[in-house]
Amino acid sequence: MSAEKEIIESVEKAKKPGTFKIMDVLQERAFPTEEVEVYLDEEAAYLASQIDDQLKEMQKKIDKSSDASKELKELNAKYEEIVAKKDALVEEIGGSRFVFHLTGISEGKREDLYELCLKKYPMKYETDRNPFTGQGEKKEINDPDRDKYFTNLVWQAHIAKIVDPSGDIQEGITYDEAVELRRSLPLSATTYINNAIEKLRTATAVFLMSVNEDFLAKSSPGTTTDGSKPS
């Protein structure tokens, strides 16, 4: 189920007449989810991408060849041979497929994680002189270690489970596993996961805003607990 569909279903459920409990809606199980497929066989994936380029070039030659030419028959035969190689590589790549199941977290939980980072890596400042006024201004010093620590905590919080190629499941990950995953996964995989986490953050914000709007509407004067006008 897509994150957008889950948002709509969760909000619609919250809007049904009856007793409204905001905390029931804010449970983590109601947050949007996302699945990211990760393939660890980088070599096979690279070879498959090269074959794609070959097939595109061959297709151009096929399109330019006349229908009855000997060259066209040879090109078609070569094309099918390369497609078979690609199919074998795709099957090989499939054997290295891991599915990461991500779930949204509240902005409050995200802030709590950042507070942990500030405790471990307190904010530091340097004084920079304003060239126009000549006065000293306090400027925050960027801390790469704090940024890495925060990202690892965010991965740990968002990754609910991982399914391996055989279907075996690991529920959640530890902080140390988050560190190792970010260090060892292919760049494409870490990019996909980071993008999915940001997508979930946006989807979660939309979900919570929708729920809060409904909560305020049901709590406003002039309505009963079932949403109808008082008699």
Q: Is the same domain home to 70 and 174?
A: no
Mean predicted confidence (pLDDT) in 62-76: 77
Q: Are 229 and 217 in contact (CB under 8 A)?
A: no
Q: Which of 77, 56, 80, 52 is nearest to 69 (CA)?
A: 77
Name the domain count of the chain: 2
- pLDDT class of 77 with cuts at 50, 70, 90: confident
Q: What share of the chain is helix, strand, coil (3-state, %, to 5)?
A: 60, 15, 25
Q: Is the same domain home to 26 and 60?
A: no
Quick check: is 228 in a domain? no
* DSSP string for residues in 85-134: HHHHHHHHHHTTEEEEEEE---HHHHHHHHHHHHHHS---EEEEE-TTT-
Q: Is the same domain home to 21 and 65?
A: no
**How much is the mean pLDDT over the chain?**
79
> pLDDT tens digits for 13-52?
655 666 556 556 555 456 788 999 888 877 777 787 788 8
Sequence-separated (6 or more) residues with CB below 8 Å from residue 204: 31, 32, 104, 105, 106, 107
Per-residue pLDDT for 73 more than 60? yes
> pLDDT tens digits for 167-192?
999 999 999 999 999 999 988 889 99
Quick check: is 169 in a domain? yes
What's the one-letter identity of residue 21?
K
**95, 113, 130 — which closes off a domain?**
95
Q: Which residue has the higher pLDDT, 95 or 173?
A: 173
Quick check: is 230 in a domain? no
Quick check: is 22 in a domain? yes
- Using alpha carbons, list the distances in angstroms from residue 134 to 19, 72, 126: 61, 76, 15
> CA 184, CA 190: separation in Å to the nearest integer?
9
User: Residue 85's domain spans which residues?
Assistant: 41-95
Q: Is the same domain home to 12 and 106?
A: yes
pLDDT, position 150:
96
> CA 107, CA 62: separation in Å to the nearest integer?
55
Q: Is the same domain home to 11 and 68?
A: no
Mean predicted confidence (pLDDT) in 57-75: 78
Q: Is the same domain home to 179 and 101?
A: yes
DSSP type of residue 229: P
pTM: 0.62
Mean predicted confidence (pLDDT) in 85-110: 84
Q: Is the same domain home to 69 and 123?
A: no
> CA 64, CA 59: separation in Å to the nearest integer?
9
Per-residue pLDDT for 74 more than 60? yes
Quick check: is 73 in a domain? yes
Quick check: is 224 in a domain? no
Sequence-separated (6 or more) residues with CB below 8 Å from residue 55: 79, 82, 83, 86
Q: Which residue has the higher pLDDT, 93 or 3?
A: 93
Q: Is the same domain home to 24 and 103?
A: yes
